[in-house]
Amino acid sequence: MTERTIPENVYDVIIIGGGPGGLTAGIYASRARMKAMLVEGSTTVSQITMTDMLENYPGLPGITGMELIDRFRQQALSFGLEIKTEHVTSLRKGRRGDITVWTVTTDRGEYEALSVIVSTGAEWRHLGVPGEDRLIGRGVSFCATCDAPFYRNREVAVVGGGDTAVTEAIYLTKFAKMVKLIHRRDRLRATGILQERAFATEKISFVWDSVVEEILGDNGVTGLKVRNLKSDEATELSVDGVFLFIGLLPNTKLFSELVNCNKDGYIIVDSEMRSSEESLFACGDCTQKSLRQVVTACGDGAVAAHSAGLYVDDLKGQSY
Ligand SMILES: Cc1cc2nc3c(=O)[nH]c(=O)nc-3n(C[C@H](O)[C@H](O)[C@H](O)COP(=O)(O)OP(=O)(O)OC[C@H]3O[C@@H](n4cnc5c(N)ncnc54)[C@H](O)[C@@H]3O)c2cc1C
């Protein structure tokens, strides 16, 4: 096999995203002695920093999201991973002779790599109803851990019926006088143990078969206009805040023209985390999968780094 010479300033791999997926990929890539760099984003940290406690990450029950990310980060740095806190604004594919080189542009500079791992996660979907945009940060929230203390002895609503909505509703009961959980169906989607806890909590009441049509208030939330989908009746609920957990949108706009995505925008990968582009890999919540959790993002990240490593070794003409 002929060995290729790669220009010095070109990384073996650039990882975009500093959540569990990206940082695990960073740990594996730097420990494998790849020339690796991770861009962690300058405006948001990982989604997991929004939660006060994880109960389901193996071996570390009760750890906070912030501490877990900090531990991942320290572990990656200890293996020599280069981490930059910058926002990626574009990704371009080019050629250097017969090899593909990716150019990653950020708000601070430009970097080149033989392979890229995308781990940009997802963000919470908005309702798209009147009042929502105007009142974000003034009673409309996507993060109970961040904002729950503002609602001590007040009434709040949570919209959604999945694991996150129910977990955050339970957390809010530590502060709020009453939590009204509004769900468009007549049963929750959340895991059994979370449902049991929610039903056992006197401070949570359920507004079934209902959707929010408007968020009311001038300088802060004062209530919600809610429609019952079965009776078609509209009512007003008086609340001081509303927390929205109605599903995720992948952060994949920058990549949607480079790789195949599904109809919801999630990057399609195979079991080796390979996308439709040979040297572009993806992992974690931004990919098409059925379970979006820390443990699955970490597993994906390890596989993505391994696959990127095999690709780069092959390209350089090294085989083991
Ligand atoms: C409130 C809440 C509670 C949760 N509770 C749990 C739980 O108890 N247990 C559990 O396992 N999971 C939980 N999750 C889910 C978990 O947070 C995600 O599954 C996990 O964080 C996914 O990891 P990720 O690396 O794919 O993405 P993320 O953690 O979302 O990380 C994405 C990274 O990409 C970066 N990024 C995005 N765009 C750019 C860009 N253009 N340039 C540079 N960087 C960029 C961001 O800054 C971030 O660093 C919870 C999520 C939320 C919101």
Query: Where is the domain boundary, 191, 217, 244?
Result: 244
Q: 147 in a domain, yes or no?
A: yes
Ligand 1: centre distance to CA 310 (Å): 26
Query: Where is the domain boundary, 244, 276, 301?
Result: 244
Ligand 1: centre distance to CA 122 (Å): 7
Same domain (yes/no): 226, 310 = no
If you search the block for the tokens 């990626």, which residue do you land on?
88
Q: Which amino acid is at 249?
A: L
Q: 3 in a domain, yes or no?
A: no
**Residue whose CB lies within 8 A of the most ligand 1 atoms, among 23, 43, 47, for a mutation test:** 47
Same domain (yes/no): 130, 118 = no
Same domain (yes/no): 100, 135 = no
Query: How many other C-beta atoms are found inside a 10 Å radius of the C-beta of residue 226?
Result: 20
Q: Give the pLDDT confidence score for residue 308 in this predicted structure.
A: 98
Same domain (yes/no): 45, 139 = no
Q: 1 in a domain, yes or no?
A: no
Q: 5 in a domain, yes or no?
A: no
Question: What span, in angstroms and rounded, lies between the C-alpha atoms of 34 and 28?
Answer: 9
Q: Which of 186, 159, 185, 190 is nearest to 172 (CA)?
A: 159
Ligand 1: centre distance to CA 32 (Å): 24
Query: What residues are labeled active site?
Result: 143, 146-147
If you search the block for the tokens 């350089």, which residue do you land on?
316
**Residue whose CB lies within 8 A of the most ligand 1 atoms, among 294, 296, 298, for a mutation test:** 294
Q: 2 in a domain, yes or no?
A: no
Same domain (yes/no): 138, 271 = no
Measured from the CA of 292, which atom of ligand 1 is nearest?
Answer: 19
Q: 201 in a domain, yes or no?
A: yes
For residue 267, the enclosing domain spans 10-123+248-316
Are 216 and 234 in contact, with CB atoms under 8 Å apart?
Answer: no
| Residues whose CB falls within 8 Å of the CB of residue 97, separated by 6 or more in sequence, listed in order | none
Same domain (yes/no): 238, 181 = yes
**Residue whose CB lies within 8 A of the most ligand 1 atoms, among 46, 164, 303, for a mutation test:** 46
Nearest CA to ligand 1 atom 13: 293
Q: 72 in a domain, yes or no?
A: yes
Q: Give the pLDDT confidence score for residue 320 in this predicted structure.
A: 43
What does the pLDDT look like over 84-120, one tens digit per residue? 999 999 999 999 888 999 999 999 999 999 999 999 9
Q: Are strands 88-96 and 99-106 parallel, antiparallel or unpaired?
A: antiparallel
Q: Give the pLDDT confidence score for residue 15 in this predicted structure.
A: 98
Residues in the chain with pLDDT values less than 70? 1-3, 318-320
Nearest CA to ligand 1 atom 33: 17
Q: Which of 101, 92, 91, 87 is nearest to 45 (CA)?
A: 87
Q: Which amino acid is at 193?
A: I
* Both structure tokens of 122: 């997802």
Query: Where is the domain boundary, 244, 268, 298?
Result: 244
| Phi-psi group of 106: left, alpha or beta (phi > 0 → left; psi -120 to 50 → alpha; rest → beta) | beta
Ligand 1: centre distance to CA 36 (Å): 21
Same domain (yes/no): 93, 185 = no
Ligand 1: centre distance to CA 113 (Å): 24
Question: What span, in angstroms and rounded, lies between the C-alpha atoms of 93 and 114?
Answer: 10
**CATH number of domain containing 178:** 3.50.50.60
Same domain (yes/no): 41, 115 = yes
How many separate domains does the chain show? Answer: 2
| Pocket-forming residues, ligand 1, beta carbon under 6 Å | 16-22, 39-41, 44-48, 50-51, 54, 56-57, 87-88, 119-121, 164, 168, 251, 284-285, 292-295, 297
Q: Give the pLDDT confidence score for residue 2 in this predicted structure.
A: 62
Q: Give the pLDDT confidence score for residue 76 in this predicted structure.
A: 98
Same domain (yes/no): 202, 132 = yes
The model's pTM is 0.86
Are 119 and 44 in contact, with CB atoms under 8 Å apart?
Answer: no
Measured from the CA of 295, which atom of ligand 1 is nearest?
Answer: 11
Distances (CA, A) of 15 to 23, 38, 193, 315: 8, 5, 35, 18
Q: Which of 22, 29, 26 is nearest to 310 (CA)?
A: 29
Q: Give the pLDDT confidence score for residue 290 in this predicted structure.
A: 84
Q: Give the pLDDT confidence score for residue 220 in this predicted structure.
A: 94
Q: What is the DSSP string of 22-68?
A: HHHHHHHHHHTT--EEEE--SS---GGGG-S-BS-STT-TTB-HHHH
Q: 217 in a domain, yes or no?
A: yes
